[in-house]
């Protein structure tokens, strides 16, 4: 059976290891089932090399890299043969020029409906624009594989009268090792407006104490450049060591090396949590008032017991002490279960 040509833009947050990883997972899941062209305009060479190496390691088998113009030529040729499928990459979902994306997809879906497909997986859209809601409603009416990854996004579309299916975060497609017995306790935070710095400092101090009582060595960990200043301030005020992987191109192997030495991670960075879990560290989602994305993804994945709320930081010791059992009983089964859901989704969506 011939497959349509899939196309995916690699324009994303180039200093964010989480975006690099889930885009590589997406490319691997598609290209293992159908040909894929990745558009590389504006993509740094270092990022592209890291992306290609990671996608290949994850099982990518049929990826070509091209400029937008070359990709357009390939799309025209494919449109005349087997059709094309446009992939909305997770890192590109909320970027600018949304009206161009909506207009192009809407026009294509109407001009050549029998030869075009649009795929979205791995995205949170807690406040979708009316134009996106209308486009998604149109695509879903045509049976297109348009999804979101959490109940908050599901409810946001429902309020606009659009029923969008949920598919788990793409990081759950990564292989998950058993609890690693690491002694480091990682704390990885991003600044959120709902948590004043003084409140965050008090919570982190409590987490540090709880980690030490649980036999862990607490360390601050930063893999996203915009979080670096916050971590430096916490490190100075709490006298903590900071592991800083931010800056330059994202290094997947560097990050996994850090995670392999960690028995636990407490973070409000979703993909820091999930990537650490695949290396055997037990993840604990740190959730402040108004935080919806991480809590929604964890609850949807069956990991609601792995959430530590802001006012629970001083009572986290018992769960931190049980980290190996929790990884075995909760985390690893959640990855196995959600990986099957993702595999079934891609089998159905890409091999249709």
Q: What are phi and psi of 76, to 5 degrees?
A: -60, -45
Q: What's the chain's average pLDDT?
A: 87
Is residue 267 pLDDT above 50, yes or no? Answer: yes
Q: State the Cα–Cα distance between residues 107 and 109, nearest whole angstrom.
A: 6
The confidence score (pLDDT) of residue 31 equals 94
- Nearest CA to 116 out of 103, 126, 106, 124 is that of 106
The confidence score (pLDDT) of residue 260 equals 96
For 169-179, what is each residue's pLDDT tens digit?
999 999 999 99
For 103-145, what is each residue's pLDDT tens digit?
555 555 555 555 568 888 888 888 888 888 888 898 898 888 9
Please state the pTM of the whole predicted model. Answer: 0.91
Whose tokens are 């592991």? That residue is 243
Is residue 97 pLDDT above 50, yes or no? Answer: no
**Mean pLDDT, range 135-159, rounded to an integer:** 90
Residue 231 burial (10 A CB sphere; 0-12, 13-18, 19+): buried
Is residue 99 pLDDT above 50, yes or no? Answer: no
Q: State the Cα–Cα distance between residues 122 and 91, nearest whole angstrom.
A: 9
Q: Are 286 and 268 in contact (CB under 8 A)?
A: yes
Q: In a 3-state reduction of DSSP, which class is residue 339?
A: helix
Q: State the Cα–Cα distance between residues 285 and 305, nearest whole angstrom.
A: 9
How distant, in Å, are the alpha carbons of 42, 93, 197, 198, 233 from that of 121? 23, 10, 34, 37, 36
The confidence score (pLDDT) of residue 100 equals 47
Q: Are 271 and 21 in contact (CB under 8 A)?
A: yes
CA count, 13 A, side-chain hemisphere, 227: 25
Name the pairing type of β-strands 184-188 and 116-120: unpaired
Is residue 51 pLDDT above 50, yes or no? Answer: yes
CA count, 13 A, side-chain hemisphere, 59: 12
- Sign of the torsion formed by the C-alpha atoms of 293, 291, 190 and 13: positive
Strand intervals (E) in 40-144: 63-66, 84-88, 116-120
The confidence score (pLDDT) of residue 187 equals 98
């Amino acid at each position: 059976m011939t497959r349509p040509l899939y196309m995916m833009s690699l324009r994303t947050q180039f200093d964010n290891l989480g975006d690099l990883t889930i885009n590589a997972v997406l490319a691997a899941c598609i290209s293992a089932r159908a040909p894929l062209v990745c558009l590389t305009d504006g993509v740094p060479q270092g990022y592209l090399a890291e992306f290609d190496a990671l996608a290949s390691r994850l099982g990518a088998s049929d990826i070509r890299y091209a400029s937008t113009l070359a990709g357009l030529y390939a799309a025209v040729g494919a449109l005349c043969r087997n059709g094309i499928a446009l992939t909305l990459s997770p890192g590109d979902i909320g970027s600018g020029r949304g009206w161009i994306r909506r207009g192009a997809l809407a026009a294509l879906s109407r001009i050549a409906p029998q030869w075009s497909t649009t795929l979205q997986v791995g995205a949170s859209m807690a406040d979708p624009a009316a134009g996106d809601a209308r486009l998604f409603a149109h695509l879903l009416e045509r049976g297109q594989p348009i999804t979101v990854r959490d109940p908050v996004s599901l409810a946001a579309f429902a309020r606009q009268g659009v029923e969008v299916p949920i598919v788990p975060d793409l990081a759950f497609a990564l292989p998950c090792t058993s609890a690693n017995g690491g002694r480091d306790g990682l704390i990885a935070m991003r600044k959120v407006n709902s948590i004043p710095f003084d409140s965050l400092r008090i919570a982190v101090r409590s987490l540090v104490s709880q980690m030490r009582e649980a036999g862990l060595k607490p360390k601050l960990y930063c893999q996203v450049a915009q979080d670096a200043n916050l971590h430096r301030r916490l490190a100075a005020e709490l006298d903590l060591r900071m592991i800083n992987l931010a800056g330059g191109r994202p290094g997947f192997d560097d990050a996994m090396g850090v995670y392999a030495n960690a028995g636990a991670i407490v973070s409000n960075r979703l993909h820091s949590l999930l990537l650490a879990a695949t290396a055997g560290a037990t993840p604990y989602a740190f959730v402040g008032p108004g935080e919806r994305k991480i809590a929604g993804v964890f609850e949807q994945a069956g990991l609601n017991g792995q959430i530590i709320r802001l006012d629970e930081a001083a009572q986290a010791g018992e769960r931190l002490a049980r980290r190996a059992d929790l990884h075995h009983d909760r985390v690893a089964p959640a990855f196995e279960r959600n990986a099957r859901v993702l595999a079934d989704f891609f089998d159905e969506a890409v091999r249709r």
